[in-house]
Structure formats: C-alpha cells, structure tokens
C-alpha cells in the first residue's frame, strides 16, 4: 500500500514557495533573480521588540508557559483589540498561536468535518484551501470580479450559500489583491451569513497596511450578533515585521477558543516563550515603527502601480491595502518567446523569471488564473530594477 496518508497526498505544494525555490535554483547558477514572491516586509523587527526578547533570554524566561499564552500577553491582545478594533473579549476568548497560519489551521480543525462546506472568496490566500481539505470539509471558491475591485457582492454570497456551508473566510485587506471592504459591504455579507447560522473567520493580518487615509474595519466590531459568530485571526508577522518570530492569535466565542486551546495543547503547546515577551512589547510599546513602514510602503505602492500602468500589456486594480499588486497578464496570452507560447498565468510567471529574471506568483495559486502577484514590500531600488526588467522583457515579446 501507499506509505503516505491520503490526507497529505492531497496537499498541493505552496506556489509561493515553489516560485521562491525556482528563483533560488537560478541564483545558484549565478543568475541574479529579483524575487517579488515572498509576502513579507523587507524591514527588520523594530529594536525595542528585539531588546525585550534579549532580556527575556538573559532572565531565563525559557520554559513552557500556559498553552494559550502568558496572561500578560493575553491581556496585551485584549487591550489591542479594544483600543484598535473596538471589540471586547474576555481573556478566555483569546489564544496565541504560532502565526496566523496556525491560528487558521486550528480554527478550521475545531469547526470543520466531512460534509461541511467552507466558502473562500477568490482570489484568496493560498493556505485556506489546503488547511480546509485537511479537515475533510470541502473548500468552495466564490470568485470575485476584477471590475468590482475583487470584492464579493452580497448577491454573489447569497448565490454561493447552501445549507452545507459551515464557515466563510473574510480577508480584508486581501492577499493577493489588496481589496478592502467597507463597513457597509462587510455588514451586508455578514448579516446574511449569520442569519443562515454560518460562522465567519475574519483574517485581519493586513489591517495596518491601508493607504490613502483609508481604514480597515474589524468584522466583529459591526454588531454583537456578528461578533458572536466571528473568529478574528490576526498576527504580528506583517505589522511588526516579525514573520520569523511566529506570533499570531485568534479571538472569538469561548467554546471555539477552548477547543482550539485543547487542540493546541497536543500539537505545539505554547508558542515560543521569548517571542511571547517580545509580542507584549510589540502590541503595547511605541507604534512609530509601524507608521514608518506604512509611509514607506505607500511610496512604493504609488511607484510600482505607476510603472505597471505604464506597461500597455499589463493592468492592475490599485490595491487599497496589504502590500501586493495583482496584475492582469491576459494581454500577453498568445505571444511567443524562444519558441514557447504564453497561454496561462503560469506561463507568464515563467516568462518573467526566464526573460526578466523577476520572480512573481501565478494567480492560479490564489484560485484566480490570468493574473500574477507582485509584492511591493521590497526596497525602492529593487522595485525600480524589477519594473525595468519586466518592461524590457515585455517589449521584446
């Protein structure tokens, strides 16, 4: 028989990681590849946060902690949710996880089983589908339209709903499109779903990266009824340039969070004790580093957007949040280079890496073929050079 379980054999490899691996293989051959694939800030973790971690090590804060997180961190999350999002949670309604990724995984494990359907708006974050498949539930894509700014309308959600729908995953601002829903848009969708008994996952990891003076809306803040049916998933990864530290959290109804804690106790136990101390400083300490990063990303967004708009073969909905451009590449379909015809977004991504030495992720990875995703959380110099290369490669088509 098969060595590996059916479950793991059903997992698709991460397209983002595949793209990064191809870029690394080319680099080993001496080719200078610029990668716009990995979704993380190029900034270093702010020093005040690092110093607290160093102190924690020196003081021997290096042992197991309570599974959901140390009380001071749960309180810090509680304070943050109240101050920044206007939502109140009891400490027993919060759990700290190894990144938003583990938070999502455990929430799906706690709620889904075979026979359940989970609705995922697309384009959407790559890991939702794989994590949902691991529960035995069925992930179902609900495609949004580019002309709607990649936002679902309540009518589209109503059409997608069936009695088997257990969960709906809302990610605003969105990876990979940067689309951000208004309070009214969110409320309309959430009120419909709650009336049908659907639980909402609000993945708000990009809430701090919002441009042009906009503000992201916390789904759970919209009404007590919506809050009672919502699990917030958030993370320190992007906001504080802490992707490697692995700190995320979930907040929601106590029965769900208790189940997540129970599960986590057998999977990973507590997250890294040192990272927990650092996380308190991140959440409650000075926030100027966040604003500095945001201002810099705003500049890079303007620049990359203007460069993409200047390439006649490409087009892009201007992202309102996050740090991605989701670029329409359909105009180059049918064109050929080196005897190869570009027919899909996967071919287009291959073209950019082979002819431009620029790594991008095909939209198919996000459930939306015809596009490629570029990260603009990269240095201005790198963006300038990357755009020059793409422009040059396209001119030669």
Does position 45 interact with ligand PLP (CB under 6 A)? The reply is no
Does residue 203 bind ligand PLP (CB under 6 A)? Answer: yes
Give dist(CA 34, CA 41) in Å, integer.
15
CB 100 within 8 A of CB 234: yes
Single residue of 175, 199, 208, 276 touching ligand PLP by CB under 6 A: 175
Report the distance separating Cα 346 and Cα 2, nearest Å: 30
Q: Which sign does the torsion angle of CA 85, 86, 91, 94 carry?
A: negative
Could you write out the DSSP letters of every residue in 354-386? HHH-EE-EEGGGGT-TTEEEEE--S-HHHHHHH
User: Which of residues 247 and 329 has its CB atom nearest to ligand PLP in the complex?
Assistant: 247
Distance of CA 320 to the CA centre of its chain: 15
Q: Give the residue, chosen from 81, 101, 279, 373, that forms a contact with ligand PLP under the rule CB under 6 A.
A: 101
Q: Count CB-CB contacts under 10 A for residue 204.
A: 23
By CB under 6 A, tell whether 205 contacts ligand PLP.
Answer: yes
Q: Is 182 exposed, middle or buried (0-12, 13-18, 19+ CB in 10 A)?
A: middle
Binding mask 247-286 for ligand PLP (x = CB under 6 A): -x--------------------------------------
The answer to whether residue 125 forms part of the interface with ligand PLP (CB under 6 A) is yes
Residue 100 contacts ligand PLP per CB under 6 A: yes
We find the least distance from the C-beta atom of residue 176 to ligand PLP, in angstroms, to be: 8
Only segment of 97-105, 135-143, 301-309, 312-320 that touches ligand PLP (CB under 6 A)? 97-105
Residue 123 lies near ligand PLP (rule: CB under 6 A): no
The residue among 263 and 311 lying less far from ligand PLP, judged by its C-beta, is 263
Six token digits for residue 208 = 């701090």
Which residue shows structure tokens 């670029």? Answer: 327
Q: Hey, which residues does 143 pair with through a beta bridge? A: 122
Residue 280 or 394 with smaller CB distance to ligand PLP: 280
Q: Contact between 39 and ligand PLP (CB under 6 A)?
A: yes
Residue with tokens 């110093």: 51
The verdict on 99 binding ligand PLP (CB under 6 A) reads: yes
Q: Determine the interface stretch with ligand PLP among 98-106, 157-165, 194-202, 338-346 (rule: CB under 6 A).
A: 98-106
How far is 146 from 166, CA to CA, in rounded Å? 27
- Distance, CA of 297 to CA of 209 (rounded, Å): 8
Q: Which is nearer to ligand PLP, 125 or 297 (CB)?
A: 125
Q: Provide the binding-site residues for ligand PLP, judged by CB under 6 A.
A: 39, 99-101, 125, 171, 175, 203, 205, 235, 237, 243, 248
């Amino acid at each position: 028989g098969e060595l590996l379980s059916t479950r793991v054999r059903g997992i698709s490899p991460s397209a983002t990681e595949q793209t990064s691996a191809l870029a690394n293989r080319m680099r080993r051959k001496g080719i200078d590849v610029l990668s716009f694939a990995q979704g993380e800030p190029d900034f270093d973790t702010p020093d005040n946060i690092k110093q607290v971690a160093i102190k924690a090590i020196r003081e021997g804060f290096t042992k197991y902690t309570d599974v959901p997180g140390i009380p001071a961190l749960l309180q810090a999350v509680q304070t943050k949710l109240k101050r920044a999002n206007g939502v109140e949670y009891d400490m027993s309604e919060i759990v700290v996880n190894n990144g938003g990724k583990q938070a999502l995984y455990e929430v799906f494990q706690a709620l889904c089983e075979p026979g359940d359907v989970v609705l995922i708006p697309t384009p959407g974050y790559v890991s939702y589908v794989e994590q949902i498949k691991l529960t035995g539930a069925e992930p179902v894509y609900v495609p949004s339209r580019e002309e709607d700014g990649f936002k679902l309308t309540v009518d589209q959600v109503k059409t997608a709903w069936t009695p088997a729908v257990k969960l709906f995953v809302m990610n605003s601002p969105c990876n990979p499109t940067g689309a951000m829903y208004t309070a009214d848009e969110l409320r309309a969708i959430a009120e419909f779903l709650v009336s049908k008994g659907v639980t909402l996952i609000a993945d708000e990891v990009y809430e701090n990266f919002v441009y042009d003076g906009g503000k992201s809306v916390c789904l759970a803040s919209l009404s007590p009824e919506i809050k009672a049916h919502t699990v917030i998933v958030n993370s320190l990864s992007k906001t504080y340039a802490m992707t490697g530290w692995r700190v995320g959290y979930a907040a929601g109804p106590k029965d769900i969070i208790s189940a997540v804690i129970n599960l986590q106790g057998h999977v990973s136990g507590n997250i890294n004790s040192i990272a927990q101390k650092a996380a308190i400083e991140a959440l409650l300490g000075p926030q100027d580093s966040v604003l500095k990063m945001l201002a810099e990303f705003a500049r890079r967004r303007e620049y990359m957007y203007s460069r993409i708009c200047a390439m006649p073969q490409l087009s892009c909905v201007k992202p309102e949040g996050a740090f991605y451009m989701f670029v329409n590449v359909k105009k180059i379909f049918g064109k050929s280079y080196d005897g190869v015809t570009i027919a899909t977004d996967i071919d287009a991504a291959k073209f950019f890496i082979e002819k431009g030495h620029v790594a991008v992720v095909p939209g198919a990875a996000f459930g939306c073929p015809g596009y490629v995703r570029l990260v603009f959380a990269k240095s201005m110099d790198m963006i300038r050079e990357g755009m020059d290369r793409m422009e040059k490669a396209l001119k030669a088509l």
